[in-house]
Copies of this chain bind each other. A is one copy, B any other.
Amino acid sequence: MAKSLLLFFTCIASVLLQTSFAAKTRHFKWEVSYIYASPDCNERLVMAINGQFPGPTIRAKAGDTIHVELKNALHTEGVVIHWHGIRQYGTPWADGTASISQCAINPEETFVYRFEVDKAGTYFYHGHYGMQRAAGLYGSLIVDVADGEEEPFHYDADFNLLLSDWYHQSIYDQMVGLSSKPFRWIGEPQSLLINGRGQYNCSLAAHVAGGTSACNVSSKDCAAVVFQVLPNKTYRLRIASTTSLASLNLAIGNHKMTVVEADGNYVEPFTVNDMDIYSGESYSVLITTNQNPSSNYWLSIGVRGRKPNTQPALAIINYRPNSASKLPESTPPITPVWNDYAHSKSFSYKILAREGTPKPPPHAARRIAMLNTQNRIDGYIKWAINNVSLALPPTPYLGSMRYRLKNAFDASKPPESFSSDYDVMKPPTNANTTQSTNAYVIQLNSTVDIILQNANALADNVSEIHPWHLHGHDFWVLGYGDGRFGEKDVSKFNLKNPPLRNSVVIFPYGWTAIRYVADNPGVWAFHCHIEPHLHMGMGVIIAEGVEYVKRIPKEAITCGMTGKMLMNNKLP
């Protein structure tokens, strides 16, 4: 009796213990609507979640399930939310990409996103329909290590910095302009934002940086962001960029930063004075508050990679117990010159996998070269990959491929390479391109190398930065190079400690090589994360093992041909 009681209590204790360590399901009820806000002290419509901009931060632990009931409370527009960096193993319909993983959620409708966050890291979420990300539809998603696990570095506390850029022109104007003939470019952003706050055409540091005008911060929406620290502690800054266009550089006055995470993967720590961050990337850096504690310090972000026409954004590192309103006496860090690509490359090249990171398979079964070019179709300006500019079909791929619908998209195979005599240093000799909804079909569990090849744009002597983001996977960055990729470059691939990432940049006139394992049945976007570039067709669709995708929730496929089939009871 005593023995069985003991067993009973042991069982109870074990259940309790398991429960306290077990993964949780975290429930959220969200509504997307427009609000009036002044992110940069100028009032505009801003896309908000539950009236908040940026949207609420999700904080979870590795292994947790996130359950978001997303209600579309916009008046006439559809909406979706993409969970950037979450691989969605087993839940490809929850990737939140309109026309790819699901139908846009109609006004007044609710869609449930339910997925596991299987890996600790710094992530974010954002709209992935039209250019709704640029309207402010984004927020942070922070995944801590599971209970009982530890990060491979120490810190006393962490801060979250979601970086973005901001336009005064509505996204409708932007979208129509980009799709117009003559073409209307959106131009440089009016402001940069840190956690949704910035200041238009003025500087918080005007008192020390002579010649710039001071900010009249009349709204709390656009007051300086303050990070309160104690002296002699270590802080983890979680930094993600969801800019529409801008490539950024971040630096903190007097403080060095040690980079420890990139896109939800640990990297071999390295220390820098400033760091570049491209749209779609996330990083964690550690800082030690070992400077004169009687001062506060500036954190500054500025534009790189394009000739800037946007003021840097500033935040304050507030050493307690100094007043937060005590502006730093030193001038803010100066952003490196926009076209100092050597500086940018030096940073990117330093990012290597931390020991213990899974290594890439030694060989790839397939190599796809993707030439990124700017082109024309019937006078409209587009971006294209191997001369195919991406158009999205009315029926999302995941449903149409899963149910083998004919004519839901262009069934042709997109090209795997481009002409051997293409001169990447010059404008395209034939600027015309085609538009297609075709997709790369990848053998499930095969290893694929993709060579992203940059080139000259339509104008002479112009080649831009493009940060590419892959949905549903991490990939290894095997290497970068200048000019055209060649067979000789294969031998230089880093197979020893290539970083695992979900986003990577191609530098002007350069190439970037990545390797990934197609181990996630679904249909996935792989695209330039610059919002107007994607709108102009700069992306591809990758499908793998779609026949193994489990039953897609009907709510994800109510539109287009799958919607019609559902309604005629013709889907299994």
Name A residues whose Cβ lies closer than 8 Å to a Cβ of B. Answer: 34-36, 45, 75-79, 103-104, 106-109, 129-132, 170, 172-173, 175-177, 179-180, 184, 393-394, 554, 558-560, 563-564, 566-569
Contacts and interface: CB of A to CB of B under 8 A. Distances in A.
Nearest to A557: B567
B76 A104 contact: yes
16 contacts: A34-B172, A34-B176, A36-B180, A75-B130, A75-B131, A75-B175, A78-B106, A78-B107, A103-B106, A109-B559, A554-B567, A558-B558, A558-B559, A558-B563, A563-B563, A566-B567
Contact of A172 (B45, B176, B177, B558): B45
Contacts of A35: 176, 180
Tallying the copies of this chain within the complex gives 2
A394 B108 CA distance: 6
A106 B104 contact: yes
Contacts of A560: 108-109
Pick the 7 closest A-B CB pairs, nearest first. Answer: A108-B394, A76-B130, A566-B567, A75-B130, A569-B569, A34-B176, A76-B77
Contacts of A172: 34, 45, 75, 170, 172
A76 to B, nearest CB: 4
Nearest to A44: B173
| Interface residues of chain A: helix, strand, loop or mixed (majority) | loop
A271 B177 CA distance: 48
A322 B569 CA distance: 66
Nearest to A176: B34
B76 A132 contact: yes
Contacts of A170: 170, 172
Given A76-B78, A129-B76, A132-B76, A173 B45 contact: yes
Nearest to A567: B566
Contacts of A103: 106
A563 B103 CA distance: 13
A514 to B, nearest CB: 30
A474 B30 CA distance: 43
Nearest to A109: B394
A405 to B, nearest CB: 15
Nearest to A173: B45
Contacts of A567: 554, 558, 563, 566-567
Given A75-B175, A76-B132, A109-B559, 12 more contacts: A35-B176, A75-B176, A75-B179, A77-B77, A78-B78, A103-B106, A106-B106, A106-B559, A109-B560, A558-B563, A558-B567, A566-B567
A516 B158 CA distance: 69
A558 B103 CA distance: 13
A481 to B, nearest CB: 37
Contacts of A79: 76
A177 to B, nearest CB: 8
